[in-house]
Each structure stands twice: as structure tokens, then as C-alpha cells.
Structure 1
Amino acid sequence: MKTFSVFSFELCFWIVAILLLWTSNPNNHHFSLCPLVNLGIDWCPGCGIGRSISWILKGNIKESFNAHWFGVPALIVLICRIITLIRIKYFKIAN
């Protein structure tokens, strides 16, 4: 029997990601994981989602929409995924 399954890893990954976004400063633009930005391309359809989620977690919806319009739906998807993984892992309930 596996002690640390794929579900456990993914669950921990998303929880840590949300906690890091919650504690991050969305005003601070330092390093980017975006490959397009790192290649010198100025526009990327996904840039700003992390800042948008960070603003939502701090309670600032207006700044969230200014950073990226998809932040609210992205956070909803992440929370639904976390709930699904908890249900699968701990309650043995699959969707």
C-alpha cells in the first residue's frame, strides 16, 4: 500500500500554492515562472492570474479583476479540486 499517493501529492501541492499566494505580496513583481515572459515576450494570456488570486485571498476583488479577469474562476476551480481530492483521499468518495 502506498503511503503517499498521487492524490496526496496533488492535494499538498494545491494547498501550499494557495497558502503561498495568500502570503505573497501581489504588488511585488520580481521573478516570473512564465516561459513567455522569460523569453522576452511582453504579452501572455495567463500572466496576472497568480496576482489576481492573491488579491482575492486578501479580499480585494477590484484589484483582482484588474490583475486578471480569470482569477475568481481559477480560485473556484482550485478549491473544487482540493475538495475533490480530500473526498477521494480521506472519505473514499469519487465523483
Structure 2
Amino acid sequence: MIKRFLSKYLELIFWVAGLLALAITDPALKTHFSLCPVKMAGMSWCPGCGLGHSISWLFRGDIKNSFEAHWLGIPALVAICWRVYQLLTPRRRIFT
């Protein structure tokens, strides 16, 4: 039963959990725990982290800092929200 649930909703769980994590994370903190392999390798700049910070700033309503963190933050958030919407709505089959 759990296997069936996970196989059906794993992508939805992944996207919602990621958005929730970005919503509660404070992008202004410079010292925070990160699972980023680029940061773990000792590099200071990572485009993925910038995208995450950008989305996190958007959740706080700060568009200026969001755009400064990564210019693709707004389109990425729109795309992720659209995907969550697609996963939540039932699929209608046109051809059977």
C-alpha cells in the first residue's frame, strides 16, 4: 500500500517538500546547513543555490533580492507551481 502511494505521489511530495523548505529557510543567513555538493566541494558560488535563494526571497515578497540572487527564480517558481497543479488535478483522457 505504501509502495503504491509513493509511486503515485512521489513527484508531488518532492516538489511540495522542496517549496516548503524554501519557504521556511531564511535566505539572508550566510551560515546555514546545505546539501549542495558544489558547496561541500568548497566552491563559494553555485547557480542552484542562487535559484533556491531567489525562490526563498520570493516567498518573502522581496522581488529585488530575488532577482539579484538569480534571474530565473520567478520563472522557476511559476514552472514548479504549474507542475504541482498538474499533479493535483485529475487527468482527462481525450483518446481512449
TM-score (norm 1): 0.80
Higher mean displacement: 63-72 or 1-10 = 1-10
Query: 1:41 Cα shift?
Result: 2.6
What residue is the counterpart of 1:20 in the other structure?
21
Structure 1: tracts of 5 or more residues without a match: none
| Correspondence for 2:77 | 75
Larger radius of gyration: 2
Task: Identify which range, 21-30 or 41-50, moves more after superposition.
Answer: 41-50
Cα pair distance change 1:58/1:34, threshold 3 Å: same
- How far is the alpha carbon of 1:27 from its aligned partner? 0.8
Q: How many equivalent residue pairs?
A: 91
Partner of 1:45: 47
Identity %: 46
Q: Indicate the RMSD between aligned Cα atoms, in angstroms.
A: 2.0
Deviations 1:26-54 (CA, angstroms, capped at 9, x unpaired): 11132222222211233333231111001
Mapped to 1, the partners of 2:25 and 2:46 lie a distance apart of 21
Following the alignment from structure 1 to structure 2, what is the Cα–Cα distance between the partners of residues 46 and 4? 29
Alignment partner for residue 68 of structure 2, among 63, 66, 69?
66
- More contact order relative to length (CA 8 Å, sep ≥ 6): 1
Unaligned runs of 5+ in 2: none
> Partner amino acid for 1:35?
P
Question: What SS class does the counterpart of residue 41 from structure 1 fall into?
Answer: coil
8 Å CA contact retained: 1:7, 1:85: no
